[in-house]
Amino acid sequence: MNTNPFFEYFSVSKDLLHIVVILTLAWFLMVLSRKLTRTFRDYMNTRADSAEEIRRIETLARVFRYVSTAVISLVAGMLALSELGISIAPILGAAGVVGLAVGFGAQSLIKDYFNGFFLLLENQIRQGDVVEVCGKTGTVEDITLRYVCLRDYEGSVHYIPNGLITTVTNKSRGFAYAVIDVSVAYRESVDEVYTVMREVATELRASADFAEKILEDIDIAGVQDWADSAIIVRCRFKTIALEQWGVRREFLRQLKDAFDARGIEIPYPHLTVYAGQDKHGLAPAFRLEDKQENHLRS
């Protein structure tokens, strides 16, 4: 029995029309999901109480856009194949078998996605945070279910799979401490050093550039160690997050000027050389002046 070419053409045209409709709906849903995501993000940003919450909202919005796009594309592709007369059931069955086989060989990839999901769910990392993971420290430029992208101080970009992340050190949460070790000579008065440090810290906190960055007065822990050529005094400033390094650098700069003005020595390693000694250890130290005098006499 011969089939009417008109009906064949009509059937093909109908299938193509269905595919066009499916793809159009998929495109519309993608646009709608992105618009809804932006609207929800902007609404939540207006209700956010801090910059940390804004960064978390931005990160979650980006991940939601990624997931929604992947799901819509997958469903649209399956429906389009169905309209072309390709049975989806065998594909799904084969995909399940292949997925099981691939799963054994791609355990690290699956682990990346699971770890990435919990990193976002538990709010451990957000875009814009400064973190240390896997021995790398930098600013989080991008975070997905697959990896975390860090840019370090030198500008190098590190892509770290989420499956390798076991410990996250986040330096951007709430507040931070600028921990500073100050070295002074053994002959200096520790009490005088404390006084100068407090004076510099008070001036630093009163300055316009650092008044909002330093949250509390200096906390001097005391003598931390007796080093080879110096006494180590440890102190710290409580600062807002990510400002601890700038506060530390400026405090050390001003403290150097204050020590110079008060005549407080900032030591450096000394080396005493002996030309030789008798069994009683009474030989004097070898001095450069003695060597110069002996050279002139010769």
CATH code assigned at 187: 3.30.70.100
Residue 1 clears pLDDT 70, i.e. is over it: no
Q: Is 282 part of any domain?
A: no
Contact of 184 with 197, CB cutoff 8 Å: no
Residue (of 206, 112, 121, 117) closest to 163 by Cα position: 112
Q: Is 161 part of any domain?
A: yes
Q: Are residues 101 and 10 in the same domain?
A: yes
Q: Is 15 part of any domain?
A: yes
Q: Are residues 143 and 181 in the same domain?
A: no
User: Residue 154 is part of a domain; what is its CATH number?
Assistant: 2.30.30.60
Number of domains in the chain: 3
Q: Are residues 99 and 10 in the same domain?
A: yes
Q: What integer pLDDT is reported at residue 34 of this predicted model? A: 84
Least reliable range by pLDDT among 66-70, 134-138, 168-172: 66-70
Q: Are residues 46 and 69 in the same domain?
A: yes
Beta-sheet strands, E only, within the chain: 130-133, 136-143, 147-151, 157-161, 168-170, 175-184, 219-226, 231-240
Q: Are residues 153 and 220 in the same domain?
A: no
Contact of 177 with 221, CB cutoff 8 Å: no
Six token digits for residue 193: 């050093």
- The model's pLDDT over 137-174, given as tens digits with 9 standing for 90+, comes to 999 998 888 889 999 999 999 999 998 998 999 998 88
Distance, in Å, from the CA atom of 184 to the CA atom of 194, rounded to the nearest integer, reads: 11
Give the Å distances, CA to CA, from 248 to 162, 222, 244. 32, 17, 6
Q: What is the mean pLDDT of residues 191-220?
A: 95
Which domain does 157 fall in, by range?
Answer: 121-170
Q: Are residues 10 and 100 in the same domain?
A: yes
Q: Is 279 part of any domain?
A: no
Q: What is the mean pLDDT of residues 58-84?
A: 77
User: Residue 39 is part of a domain; what is its CATH number?
Assistant: 1.10.287.1260
Q: Is 258 part of any domain?
A: yes
129 burial (CB, 10 Å; 0-12 / 13-18 / 19+) is: buried
Q: Is the pTM of this model over 0.85?
A: no
Q: Is 274 part of any domain?
A: no
Distance, in Å, from the CA atom of 182 to the CA atom of 57, rounded to the nearest integer, reads: 40
